[in-house]
Amino acid sequence: MSTLTIAGVFHIYWALGGTVGLDKVIPTKNAKALLSSGKSLTAAVGFLIFCFSLLAYLLNF
């Protein structure tokens, strides 16, 4: 499993409401998140990462 696939899995997990690892990737200030992306945007990013992962696999990267 490639790094891109793992990143895609995390994005889909977060889009479905998962919280593991969010505190490490979302910048915060005074315990408040500075970014707030929606679930649909997060799912779209996950899908795009999966597409790049498939492309890398097909091109033998």
Number of structural domains, the chain?
1
pLDDT tops 80 at residue 1: no
Q: Domain span at residue 13? A: 3-58
List alpha helices for 1-61, DSSP H: 3-15, 22-25, 39-58
pLDDT band at 11 (very low <50, low <70, confident <90, very high): very high
Kindly tell me the sign of the dihedral angle through the C-alpha atoms of 39, 44, 48, 51: positive
Average pLDDT, the chain: 91
Check residue 2 and give its pLDDT: 85
Query: pLDDT per residue over 23-43, tens digit each?
Result: 888 888 888 888 888 899 999
